[in-house]
Amino acid sequence: MKIKNNLTAADLQPKLDRLWQLSGEKINLLNAQYDPAKGSPVFTVRGEYTTRGWTEWTEGFRYGAEVLQYDATGDEQFLTAAKAHTVQQMASHVGHFGVHDHGFNNVSTYGNLVRLMNEGRIAEQEWERNFYEIALKISGAVQAKRWTPIKDGGYIYSFNGPHSLFVDTIRSVRALMVSHLLGHSLMGENDLKTSLLERGVMHALATAKYALYYGEGRDTYDVWGRAAHESVFNVNDGNYRCPNTQQGFSGFTTWTRGLAWAMVGFPEQLETLAYFTDEELAPFGGREAVEAIYLKAARATCDFFIDNTAADGIPYWDTGAPQLYKLGAYTEEKSNPYNPYEPIDSSAAAIGAQGLLRLGKYLSDKGRTDEGNRYWQAGLTSLDTLFDEPYLSTDPQHQGLILHSVYHQPNGWDYIPEGQQVPCGESSMWGDYHAREVALYIQRIIKDQPYYSYLGAVK
């Protein structure tokens, strides 16, 4: 990436204004045209959202987007729709024991709504607050139930089964943190109480240790910041076995959306540490030890993104994709979503940019200004590209907001338009949501409004 060091957050405001206008139009278009009976919308085909996947992991992004739209614009229609849809559609996700996505579905809906109440943006109603908070409490406990113990801790296992740790879940672990901070625990047989903070921190530590690489010789391809989508364990003895992937090219290459989940997940957890006492963090080696592990993970993944992304801040789908070499020095040139070799994944930019910004701010707030500015400016560089054409969707008939996202390149799930050789021109529910989320994040900073964080769900 070629970082634009002179770009300021305020420079992006005209692009943010345009994005929010288009975003509202896209939300209304989807609500008018999409049939919920088909299941949760996942990605677009020929500009229309359709459903495909393993689990219903994207519905919270759909309705959470309505909350973000209201938050950014003050347009009451989106708040009304978000409340109604959350009541109608999200209950099944609160008690869903079959997924690792509670932080995606429920913090994006119930969490964002109670955050607005905490900020005074919506009227205080005791019954409404109780409704949101009980959903968040239960969601965190249900998420924590998906637990595999290993020799040095444990992790929340993916929908693949108890052997499987997904790097994605570092962003979803926020469900446990919110539930814990609301005073909840996981209750088991004989009233055994398990701390959700304990499970959340242990999961984060396992992710940092096994899913990420630091150039320390773990394998032949160990470089600073490489990320494995899946880490496989032997559940009989708790031993780590190997890296793997479900949506990337291989376990020894870096699927950039998985990388992006770690990029934003670890800075968020760094921010969360301030909410816990030294006594609470003592069992994990203490505050300084946990912070050092999180910070190392955040820096490594963000550095890898910067080093392996196109000059304008948009990555290709996997840094080891087999035909990527045909693009030549692609990190020195603008991203090309219409190239004939390998697809772009704009959703990785939408997710990863927020991680760059949060890490940059965290370091700057700690007095490490030069290092913090590098990440901050890298995040702005990505957004400057992402929030404009050809990535911003301006076609009034296209239901997506951010173009050139891919879901599952190895399985061939993504649409390839006529005349093209790789998937392009389509959107994803997670890409659209995270573009809105990072847009709200930076807009609040520009306007000196309360800092945007999932921790806003905790009063």
**Are 23 and 436 a contacting pair, CB within 8 Å?**
yes
Tell me whether strands 193-194 and 186-187 are parallel, antiparallel or unpaired. Answer: antiparallel
CATH number where 224 lies: 1.50.10.10
pTM above 0.95, yes or no: yes
4 part of a folded domain: no
Distance CA 383, CA 8 (A): 11
Token digits of residue 334 = 């603008």
The 10 Å Cβ neighbour count of residue 119 is: 13
Instruction: Express each pLDDT in 295-354 by its tens digit.
Output: 999 999 999 999 999 999 999 999 999 999 999 999 999 999 999 999 999 999 999 999
Give 425's Cβ-side CA count (13 Å radius).
18
239 part of a folded domain: yes
2 part of a folded domain: no
Q: What is the pLDDT confidence band of residue 36, given thresholds at 50, 70 and 90?
A: confident
Distance CA 399, CA 406 (A): 15
Domain that holds residue 93: 9-457
pLDDT, residue 55, reads 81
User: Does residue 53 carry a pLDDT above 80?
Assistant: no
Distance CA 288, CA 170 (A): 20
Instruction: Express each pLDDT in 175-198 by its tens digit.
Output: 999 999 999 999 999 999 999 999
3 part of a folded domain: no
Q: What is the DSSP string of 146-212?
A: SEEEETTEEEE--TT-TTEEETTHHHHTHHHHHHHHTT--EE-GGG-EE-HHHHHHHHHHHIIIIIB
User: Phi-psi region for residue 277, left (φ > 0), alpha (ψ -120 to 50) or beta?
Assistant: beta
Distance CA 36, CA 51 (A): 10
Distance CA 434, CA 375 (A): 18
| Percent helix, percent strand, percent coil in the chain, to nearest 5 | 55, 10, 40
354 part of a folded domain: yes
The whole-chain average pLDDT of the chain stands at 97
Distance CA 285, CA 119 (A): 34
Question: Which residues sit opposite 150 in a β-bridge?
Answer: 153
Spatial CA neighbour of 113 closest among 123, 102, 101, 100: 123
**Are 424 and 417 a contacting pair, CB within 8 Å?**
yes
427 part of a folded domain: yes
384 part of a folded domain: yes
Residue with tokens 């008690």: 95
Instruction: Express each pLDDT in 231-266 by its tens digit.
Output: 999 999 999 999 999 999 999 999 999 999 999 999
Sequence-distant (≥ 6) Cβ neighbours of residue 310 within 8 angstroms: 1, 316, 330, 331, 333, 334, 335, 336
Please compute the mean of the pLDDT values over residues 283-305 and round it to a whole number. 98
Sequence-distant (≥ 6) Cβ neighbours of residue 16 within 8 angstroms: 387, 439, 442, 443, 446
214 part of a folded domain: yes
Q: Count the domains in the chain.
A: 1
